[in-house]
Amino acid sequence: MDPPPSAPPRTVICVGDVHGHISKLESLWSNLQSALPADAFATALVIFLGDYCDRGSHTRKVLDFLIALPTRYPAQHHVFLCGNHDFAFAAFVGALPPPPDGSPFSATWDEYLHNEEHEGWFRGPGHEGMHVQGRRWGGVIKERWNPKKGLPYKGSIYDAQPTFESYDVAHGSPDLAKAMPEEHKKFLHDLVWIHEEDDVPVDTDKGQTVCKLIAVHAGLERSMDLNEQLRILRTRDTRVPKIQMLHGRHDVWDIPKDLSAEQIIIVSGHHGKLHIDGLRFIIDEGGGYEDKPIAAIVLPSKTLIRSTE
């Protein structure tokens, strides 16, 4: 008697940066649902790669959408990674986990104080007890033009003005925390900095292989001790002024040499690009731009699905 057919591998969906674009998120979600078999979609592991806020106009609606997903799709498993924008947003509204050693958040300022004037850090009520990234996020950048993006800044170095306005408060207002629903602050507080998943199948040129998956917003640094990176990410160590695994641009692009010999997928958003090289996936086609779609990658097939609003 033939053995019963084995169940198909669980579908894993990794969703790129949303950046306040609710209509793109709704379109992407609808396209994912249409593209996948009903049972695969209904039971998928869905990993959101971070950066839910800023640039787009509807951060509040994006958070409402994400918070509702576990109720709407109870058989799915949802992972919400912390992006650098979300970290800074949480820092501004008092939703960051406290430093594990009880040190004040003001201890994070010193390394970057030389940027305070240029970046126009927030100096209003409550700034004394704020993480440096919260002060940068809620500040007012003196320059009006971002040469890296070829676009004007939206309020701060983080383009945070649309996030304030989505909660009907003025950019830089300390009233933002009062204007936000408590469930939004809890969502920001609970964001994970890393997700590790064993036994994730992925299709390769040599057939399907089973890998460990590590999801982190920007990537893992090649030149920093891997165990120290993992400690910071797993414990959410908010003593660190700038977590390169969430904020970095250059040294986080490739798989660290300590992991390159193993069958490990590393998937990130953050970089404003789509990049698939072996088991290194960067899924951020949108980058917060108005004219670009939000993309998601579906495993094991490595199918790319995009918003089509």
**Which residues form the catalytic set?**
85
CB atoms within 10 A of CB 69: 15
Q: Provide the strand spans (E) within 40-82.
A: 45-48, 77-80
Write the DSSP symbol of residue 192.
B
**Which phi and psi (to 5°) does residue 271 adopt?**
-95, 0
> If we measure between CA atoms, which residue out of 227, 222, 247, 268 comes closest to residue 108?
247
Closest C-alpha to 92, from 176, 6, 15:
176
Q: What is d(CA 69, CA 187) in angstroms, rounded to the nearest whole number?
A: 12
Q: How many separate helices (H) and strands (E) can be counted in the chain?
A: 11, 12
Nearest alpha-carbon partner for 194 in 216, 174, 172, 218: 216
CA distance 62 to 8: 31
The answer to whether 216 and 232 are in contact (CB under 8 A) is: no
